[in-house]
């Protein structure tokens, strides 16, 4: 499962990236779609001030959530992209788990009439 038509915007500072490099970056970042289905955009900035240690910054916008940011510096371009991608995967995974956990707690509270945080009934006096 990829990013389903989401455009990956790749920009460069202090240098130029070829088509092969851009395609490789896009390929590495497409897997972010496995971690969240509501990704709106992906912006990548590659800073080539020192071509031996490129800096990569990736910003992911998700519908209904704040932007996620990861940056990395590596000994090669794809290594830096991989490192930033792993950081984003973890952020997206934690965000989605938080959403699912909140939804489950709300559903459980509505279903059983129990406030999990306090462990008490929300008005079912027959159970007491």
For residue 127, tell me if it sits in a domain: no
For residue 49, tell me if it sits in a domain: yes
**Domain tally, the chain:** 1
For residue 120, tell me if it sits in a domain: no
Render pLDDT for 96-114 as a digit per residue (tens, 0 to 9). 888 877 556 555 555 555 5
> How much is the average pLDDT of 63-88?
95
User: Residue 1's pLDDT is what?
Assistant: 43
For residue 63, tell me if it sits in a domain: yes
SS3 for the chain is: CCCCCCCEEEEEECCCCCHHHHHHHHHHHHHHHHCCCCEEEEEEEEECCCCCCCEEEEEEEECCCCCEEEEEECCCHHHHHHHHHHHHHHHHHHHHHHHHHHHHHHHHHHHHCEECCCCEECCCHHHC
> How much is the average pLDDT of 12-20?
95
Q: State which residues form the domain around 89.
A: 8-115
For residue 103, tell me if it sits in a domain: yes
Indicate which CATH number applies to the domain containing 41: 3.30.160.100
What's the pTM? 0.75
């Amino acid at each position: 499962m990829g990013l389903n038509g989401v455009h990956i915007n790749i920009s460069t500072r202090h240098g130029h990236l070829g088509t092969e490099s851009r395609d490789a970056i896009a390929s590495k970042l497409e897997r972010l779609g496995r971690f969240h289905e509501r990704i709106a955009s992906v912006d990548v900035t590659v800073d080539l001030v020192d071509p031996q240690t490129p800096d990569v910054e990736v910003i992911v916008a998700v519908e209904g959530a704040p932007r996620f940011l990861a940056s990395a510096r590596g000994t090669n371009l794809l290594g830096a992209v991989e490192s930033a991608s792993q950081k984003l995967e973890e952020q997206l995974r934690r965000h989605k788990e938080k959403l699912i956990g909140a939804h489950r707690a709300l559903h459980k509270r509505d279903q059983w009439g129990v406030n999990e945080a306090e462990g008490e009934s929300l008005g079912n006096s027959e159970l007491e």
